[in-house]
Amino acid sequence: MSKRDFLSTADLTRPQLDDLLDLASRAKGKRLTQGLAGKTLGMMFFQPSLRTRVSFETAMVQLGGHCINLSSHDLYELEPEEQAVMDGRAEEHVIDAARTLSRYVDALGVRAVSRTGTWERDRQELLLRSYAQHSSVPVINLETCFEHPCQAIADAMTMREHLPQLAGKKLTLLWCNHPEPKSLGPTHSILRVAALLGMHVTLAHPLGFEVDGEVLEHAGTLARAADGSVEVENDLATACSGAEVLYARSWGCTKYWDDPEREAMVKRSLQDWKVDEQLMQKTANALLMHPLPVRRNVAATDAVLDGPRSVIYDQAENRVHVQKAILMQLLQ
Amino acid sequence: MSKRDFLSTADLTRPQLDDLLDLASRAKGKRLTQGLAGKTLGMMFFQPSLRTRVSFETAMVQLGGHCINLSSHDLYELEPEEQAVMDGRAEEHVIDAARTLSRYVDALGVRAVSRTGTWERDRQELLLRSYAQHSSVPVINLETCFEHPCQAIADAMTMREHLPQLAGKKLTLLWCNHPEPKSLGPTHSILRVAALLGMHVTLAHPLGFEVDGEVLEHAGTLARAADGSVEVENDLATACSGAEVLYARSWGCTKYWDDPEREAMVKRSLQDWKVDEQLMQKTANALLMHPLPVRRNVAATDAVLDGPRSVIYDQAENRVHVQKAILMQLLQ
Amino acid sequence: MSKRDFLSTADLTRPQLDDLLDLASRAKGKRLTQGLAGKTLGMMFFQPSLRTRVSFETAMVQLGGHCINLSSHDLYELEPEEQAVMDGRAEEHVIDAARTLSRYVDALGVRAVSRTGTWERDRQELLLRSYAQHSSVPVINLETCFEHPCQAIADAMTMREHLPQLAGKKLTLLWCNHPEPKSLGPTHSILRVAALLGMHVTLAHPLGFEVDGEVLEHAGTLARAADGSVEVENDLATACSGAEVLYARSWGCTKYWDDPEREAMVKRSLQDWKVDEQLMQKTANALLMHPLPVRRNVAATDAVLDGPRSVIYDQAENRVHVQKAILMQLLQ
């Protein structure tokens, strides 16, 4: 199968990452190249989106191409299970949607973050993987509960812009409180990318908010191969001490994945897991990162988000440049 | 009135059909002609759409034009009845929406499939016809419960690609089971188009699922004029025997049009109305067609839909080429 | 701060208005100038829209640019209050949405008409003003409950096309009945623009439907400076007598702003506040204007809306030309 997809950071090699970052840097600032004239990207959103939607459409338009946007409310309900007897609510199978769209568009982006059952089920990214399997055009992961690779590459680009060298730097990936249960996608993706870059990653979270074991192990292997490291720390202050990058985001509890009320109960006692100026002072003058959207004054205070070390809008902007690089690699 | 619309297969002559098919064949494969540069097509969807939405947008973009998409959830509720006293929920009359949009766009597509009452009412395609009457730009039928002409022309193109000659060929239009009550649009449209092409059409359905009498009679007249024929058959095996094209799709019961639960009850005993390999073997090695979306393993099995005689994705793809032809004829 | 926004008629000077109208007139009829090639306009709709959405997208496309459309159902819920502790339903703050979008698009349009509390609160246009404050790109008001400046400029253009001179002409802004409580945006905006043009404006409404006091006072000041006048009249027949332009629209009762049922009760006795042929005969052969959507046969009869003095579709069309002028001024 020669079709290339962009689904996961698990497949990414260091040379591929460097190529993407170099191409993204070249894309930045040069708006009107027409490298994708006549190409269309179909995007399917099964959940709301601001950054992903607008940054991809901006990227395609600036490259001379076009986006066709489909939201779940424009669509029939879709069946992802192979061999299903479709006598329920789903009106069309992903098989047919993927093969049909492959006749129309040049690439297909899919955001599918919804919880549909247990973590064991949702970590398989059924909907995204089904699209990738049945499409004959490249499929791009626009975020699942397991991975958000476009975000993580934009994050790497942002770190590279603000720090002279990434290898050996201390990055703390910090769990924050949040009223809703969130996806693990951005966390898993930046964890693997930072490991690949040889950073010293501290994954900081309260007990019970462990990330996926396979991803953690893989990130450790990647880090060791690049003279970096990955460790887990459950004490907030210890985790932030000496951090050169503080990457904050909430993520869900995989153990109570299908029981959000129980997760909410656990989180009531975790309100100190929040980034504020006091916490920032424990770091080594860390860059503050967050993939957005952020719950202001819950996950992080206004003061730090709007403070001098925050690079959250650079992260958002770099989505455009990185996605141009991804699209050019897949479509040219 | 010199404005041309594309509303129904009822108006179509054989030379017009041949012109459209020839133009569609020329469009196929040549992506980047810019024949509609600067033109915009407004599309209004009052129901979900995958193929129609994406194939039209692809067609316009590849011809250099632009689509403006409006879904019912982006819009006010619209009033289609002339002289209505608008003190209810509808915020705007179709008269005003049609005249306003005519000042903005070059053509207007309307999908309006919803059941709004009895079959006698819905067969009049009130919303579509009101748009056509009050627009000064061409209006295109994107499917009603009565007609889906764009689909039928794409179906004709697909048959022409796979069979050396269509006149005299045996086409079985087969009703299949489906958990939901469906529109009669695709069935009516392909029935008339196949008749126009001089095919021998067998309309196969269980008792109670008769199509609209006027359409059936008109198709018979068209077929006789082209040395073809139209017959109705209520026995599944007999209907498929010798078929060279098997065109499967479910459609609703017009008698119980405003009582979907009663239709559902009737359909419980009709689960053998499904295309499987056994049924395919009764045919003369028929092409298998379906306009999609299809309920896999209810209307037709995975084995036949993914089998060697299935041309369902060619039907879907040809929507783009046929719609380019329609748009070029209306707008150039 | 050198960024220019287009938020309100309050800031508009007569020379600026004349410039916009002249530029709009030049834009009319010349479709394919490419003055905004490579530019994107992001539009956020928190309520349904037909004219605003399609006229802006048409304007951008005809100028060579591109629109990215976001509806509230594509988005997270947004928090507009500064310093909010975001532990409720809102997933993202307007601060972050505005700053993020400013990295992607060249201008941002916002429609935010919803009632969120009292008139004192909603007249502050919190959501729009928050976008304007936190965006680094120009923000355009696509209608709030307080202003609809794009509509009013298009209305001025329409009057200028149909009347040789506007200064000194008698314009009656007429409240009409409507089953729903409506925004005051179009009324406030045309009131100020007509005053600026030196027209003699009669604001005609039943007792209880007073417009915002500050706007009324400002309009009076503007009118006097231009040798025009603004007066309020609560008698329907008196208000229409001698009118050269009759501008009809419903608007909400600010006193019962957060109690729509009470407003509905009041309106039950106001069903004669409707434009019909009899009322038109009281005018000096007035042009009939309405910004649409209009409740036919409630706010105005079919006979007058479709009659020889109605210019309602010219108003709608001129939205495109005026918005081209606005976009060119903000973006070139």
Question: Within 10 A of C281 (CB to CB), how many other CB atoms are there?
Answer: 10
Q: What is the b/e burial string over C109-120, where b = at least 16 CB atoms within 10 angstroms of the residue's CB?
A: bbbbbeeeeebe
* A89 burial type by CB count under 10 A (0-12 exposed, 13-18 middle, 19+ buried): exposed
Record: fold of A152-315: Rossmann fold (3.40.50)
Q: pLDDT tens, B275-285?
A: 999 999 999 99
Could you give the dihedral angle defined by the CA atoms of residues B163, B169, B170 and B176, in that order, rounded to the nearest 10 degrees? 40
C298 at B interface, C-beta within 8 A = yes
B23 at C interface, C-beta within 8 A = no
Interface test with C, best of B39, B45, B74, B78 (most C CBs within 10 A): B74
Both tokens of A51, joined, read 């950054």
Q: Tell me: pLDDT of A33 over 80.
A: no
Q: pLDDT tens, A156-179?
A: 999 999 998 999 999 999 999 999
Record: fold of C9-148+319-331: Rossmann fold (3.40.50)
Q: Residue A227 carries which DSSP code?
A: T
Does the beta-carbon distance from A296 to C93 stay under 8 Å?
A: yes
H helices within B37-125, ranges in order?
51-62, 94-102, 119-122
Share of chain A above pLDDT 90, in %: 92
Q: Are strands A107-112 and A139-144 parallel, antiparallel or unpaired?
A: parallel
Compare all CA atoms of chain C with the CA of A181 and give the residue at the minimum distance: C91
- What pLDDT does residue C2 have? 64
Contacts of B61 in chain A (CB under 8 A): 40, 66
The average confidence (pLDDT) of chain B is 95
Which pairs count as long-range contacts for A24-33, CB under 8 Å and 24+ apart, including other chains?
A: A24/A153, A24/A154, A24/A157, A24/A318, A24/A321, A24/A322, A24/A324, A24/A325, A25/A157, A25/A321, A27/A320, A27/A321, A27/A324, A27/A325, A27/A328, A28/A318, A28/A321, A31/A62, A31/C38, A32/A62, A32/C38, A33/A62, A33/A63, A33/A64
Residues of chain C with pLDDT under 50: 1
What stretch(es) of chain A map to CATH 3.40.50.1370?
9-148+319-331, 152-315
B23 at A interface, C-beta within 8 A = no
Using CB atoms, which residue from B54, B62, B316 is nearest to A42?
Answer: B54
- Subunits with 3+ Cβ pairs within 8 Å of B are A, C
- What pLDDT does residue A213 have? 98
Phi, psi of A9 (to 5 degrees): -75, -10
Count CA atoms within 13 Å of residue C185 on its CB side: 27
- What pLDDT does residue B31 have? 61
Using CB atoms, which residue from C50, C57, C313 is nearest to B76?
Answer: C50
d(CA A155, CA A318): 8
* Model confidence, pTM: 0.96
- What pLDDT does residue B46 have? 86
Residue whose C-alpha is closest to residue A243's, from A194, A210, A208: A194
Does the beta-carbon distance from B83 to C302 stay under 8 Å?
A: yes
Q: pLDDT tens, A65-84?
A: 999 999 888 888 899 999 99
Both tokens of A155, joined, read 């994050």
A191 SS3 class? helix
- What pLDDT does residue A32 have? 55
Whether ipTM exceeds 0.90: yes
Q: pLDDT tens, B39-90?
A: 999 999 988 899 999 999 999 999 999 999 998 888 889 999 999 999 999 9
User: Which residues, in sequence order, are bridge partners of residue C41?
Assistant: C67, C107
Compare all CA atoms of chain C with the CA of B72 and give the residue at the minimum distance: C48
| Shortest distance, CA C15 to any CA of chain B (angstroms) | 28
Query: Distance between terminal CA atoms of chain B?
Result: 18
Q: Tell me: pLDDT of B34 over 90.
A: no
Answer whether C93's CB lies under 8 Å from C76's CB: no
d(CA B222, CA B242): 22
Look at phi and psi of residue B129 and say left if phi exceeds 0, alpha if psi is from -120 to 50, else beta. Answer: alpha
C34 at A interface, C-beta within 8 A = no
Answer whether C250's CB lies under 8 Å from C299's CB: yes
Q: Which residues contact A269 (CB under 8 A, 6 or more apart)?
A: none
Q: Give me the architecture of the B151-315 domain, per CATH.
A: 3-Layer(aba) Sandwich (3.40)
Interface test with A, best of B33, B56, B58 (most A CBs within 10 A): B58
C133 at A interface, C-beta within 8 A = no
C137 at A interface, C-beta within 8 A = no
B209 at A interface, C-beta within 8 A = no
Does the beta-carbon distance from C87 to A298 stay under 8 Å?
A: yes
- What pLDDT does residue A2 have? 63
- What pLDDT does residue B2 have? 64
- What pLDDT does residue A1 have? 42
Q: pLDDT tens, C251-292?
A: 999 999 999 999 999 999 999 999 999 999 999 999 999 999
Query: Distance between terminal CA atoms of chain A?
Result: 18
Question: Confidence class of residue A30 from pLDDT cuts 50, 70 and 90?
Answer: confident
Q: Tell me: pLDDT of B208 over 90.
A: yes
Specify the amino acid at residue C7.
L
Residue whose C-alpha is closest to residue C279's, from C308, C314, C243, C319: C243
Using CB atoms, which residue from B40, B93, B101 is nearest to C61?
Answer: B40
Using CB atoms, which residue from C54, C62, C295 is nearest to B42?
Answer: C54
Q: Can you say whether the dihedral through the CA atoms of C261, C266, C270, C275 is positive or negative?
A: negative
Give the distance from CA C32 to its chain's centroid.
27
Q: pLDDT tens, A137-146?
A: 999 999 999 9
Both tokens of A43, joined, read 């995007």
d(CA A84, CA C287): 63
d(CA C189, CA C168): 19
Does the beta-carbon distance from B104 to C320 stay under 8 Å?
A: yes
Q: Tell me: pLDDT of A235 over 90.
A: yes
User: Which residues, in sequence order, are bridge partners of residue B204?
Assistant: B174, B233
Using CB atoms, which residue from A54, A305, A306 is nearest to C68?
Answer: A54
Instruction: Of B20-34, B135-149, B246-260, give the lowest mean pLDDT range.
Output: B20-34
Give the distance from CA C308 to its chain's centroid.
24
Residue whose C-alpha is closest to residue B56's, from A93, A131, A140, A70: A70
* A168 burial type by CB count under 10 A (0-12 exposed, 13-18 middle, 19+ buried): middle
B227 SS3 class? coil
Using CB atoms, which residue from A68, A83, A92 is nearest to B293?
Answer: A92
CA distances from A303 to A275, A300, B328 (A): 10, 8, 57
B33, containing H or E segment: none
Compare all CA atoms of chain C with the CA of B65 and give the residue at the minimum distance: C61
A105 SS3 class? coil
Question: Within 10 A of C14 (CB to CB), how many other CB atoms are there?
Answer: 13
Q: pLDDT tens, A242-300?
A: 999 999 999 999 999 999 999 999 999 999 999 999 999 999 999 999 999 999 999 99
d(CA B219, CA B231): 10
d(CA C329, CA A249): 40
What stretch(es) of chain C map to CATH 3.40.50.1370?
9-148+319-331, 151-315
Question: Confidence class of residue B304 from pLDDT cuts 50, 70 and 90?
Answer: very high
Q: Which residues contact B59 (CB under 8 A, 6 or more apart)?
A: B320, B321, B323, B324, B327
C213 at A interface, C-beta within 8 A = no
Q: Which residues contact A114 (CB under 8 A, 6 or more apart)?
A: A46, A47, A145
Does the beta-carbon distance from C48 to B96 stay under 8 Å?
A: no
Both tokens of B103, joined, read 């000042």
Question: Confidence class of residue B1 from pLDDT cuts 50, 70 and 90?
Answer: very low
Interface test with C, best of A50, A292, A301 (most C CBs within 10 A): A50
